[in-house]
Structure 1
Amino acid sequence: MAGEVVDIFIASVRDGYVQVSAFVAVTVLLFSYIQYRTRGKLTAKLGDNSRIQPLVGALMGLTPGCGGAIVMMPLYLRGTVSFGTVVATLIATAGDSAFVILALAPKAAAYSYGLAFAAAVIFGYAIDQFGLGVGYVDRAVSQLSRPVTDGGSSVSVLGRSSNPAHEYEGPSPGHSHETGPDRESTVLTPLTHGVHGLWWLAAVGGLALGTTYLLRGAPEVPLSTGMSFSGLFTIVGITGTSLSFYLYFVGRHYIGEGGVGRAKDTFGSLYETFQHAAMETSFVTVWVLVAYLLYEYPVFLFNLDIAAIAAAAGIFAPIGGALLGLIPGCGPQIVLASAYAQGGIPFSALTANAISQDGDALFPLIAIDKKAAIIASLYTTVPALVVGIGLHLLWGPLFGFGVLGS
Structure 2
Amino acid sequence: MSEIVNIFLASVRDGFVQVSAFVAVTVLLFSYVQYRTGGRLVEKLEENRRAGPLVGALMGLTPGCGGAIVMMPLYVRGSVSFGTVVATLIATAGDAAFVILALAPEAALYSYGIAFATAVLFGYAVDRFGLGVSRVDRAVRNIGTTVTDGGVSAPMTGNKVHHYDEAAAGEVQGLVCGADGHHDHDGDSVRESSVMRSLSLAALAAWWVAAAVGLGAGVVYLLRGAPDVPMVADLSFAGLFTVAGLVGTTLSAYLYFVGRKYVGHGDVGHARDTFGSVFETLTHAAMETSFVTVWVIAAYLAYEYGILFTGVDIGGLAAAAGVLAPIAGAVVGLIPGCGPQIVLSTAYAQGAIPFSALVANAISQDGDALFPLIAIDKTAAVVASVYTTVPALVVGVVLHYTWTAVFGLPQFGFGVL
Superposed pair shares fold, TM > 0.5? yes
Instruction: Give the equivalent residue in structure 2 for 1:129.
Output: 128
Which is further off, 256-265 or 36-45?
256-265
Q: How does 1:7-406 map to 2 (within 5 A)?
A: 7-137=6-136, 139=138, 147-150=147-150, 152=152, 154=154, 156=157, 158-159=159-160, 163-167=165-169, 168-171=172-175, 175-178=185-188, 180-182=189-191, 184-396=192-404, 398-404=411-417
Contact 2:364 2:389 in 1 (8 A): yes
Distance apart, 1:142 and its partner CA:
9.6
RMSD: 2.2
Distance apart, 1:111 and its partner CA:
0.5
Contact 1:32 1:273 in 2 (8 A): yes
Q: How many angstroms apart in 2 are the aligned matches of 1:98 and 1:223?
A: 28
Contact 2:21 2:212 in 1 (8 A): yes
What amino acid is the match of 1:116?
A
Contact 2:60 2:68 in 1 (8 A): yes
Q: How many angstroms apart in 1 are the aligned matches of 2:368 and 2:82?
A: 18
> Can you list the C-alpha shifts for 1:18-54, whole angstroms capped at 9, x where unaligned?
1111111111111111111111111112122222110
What amino acid is the match of 2:165?
N
Q: How many angstroms apart in 1 are the aligned matches of 2:129 and 2:151?
A: 30
Instruction: Give the equivalent residue in structure 1 for 2:407.
Output: none
Distance apart, 1:355 and its partner CA:
0.6
Q: How many angstroms apart in 2 are the aligned matches of 1:157 and 1:242?
A: 51
Q: How many angstroms apart in 1 are the aligned matches of 2:210 and 2:63?
A: 21
Deviating 4+ runs (over 6 angstroms): 140-146
Distance apart, 1:199 and its partner CA:
0.8
> Can you list the C-alpha shifts for 1:155-211, whole angstroms capped at 9, x where unaligned?
746239573133113335993113x522x2232111111111111111111111111
What amino acid is the match of 1:187?
V
List runs of 5+ in structure 2 lacking aligned partners.
177-182, 405-409
Change (3 A) 1:116 1:243: same
TM-score when normalising by structure 1: 0.94
Instruction: Give the equivalent residue in structure 1 for 2:180.
Output: none
Distance apart, 1:147 and its partner CA:
3.9
Q: How many angstroms apart in 1 are the aligned matches of 2:329 and 2:335?
A: 11
Report the identity percentage: 66
Q: How many angstroms apart in 1 are the aligned matches of 2:351 and 2:398?
A: 20
Distance apart, 1:135 and its partner CA:
3.6
Distance apart, 1:348 and its partner CA:
0.5
What amino acid is the match of 1:214?
L
Change (3 A) 1:332 1:25: same
TM-score when normalising by structure 2: 0.91
Aligned length: 401
Distance apart, 1:381 and its partner CA:
0.7
Contact 1:87 1:120 in 2 (8 A): yes
Which is further off, 329-338 or 392-401?
392-401
Contact 2:184 2:266 in 1 (8 A): no
DSSP-derived class of the 1:50 partner: coil
Q: How many angstroms apart in 2 are the aligned matches of 1:186 and 1:87?
A: 44
DSSP-derived class of the 1:81 partner: coil
Contact 1:68 1:263 in 2 (8 A): yes
Change (3 A) 1:138 1:350: closer
Change (3 A) 1:149 1:221: same
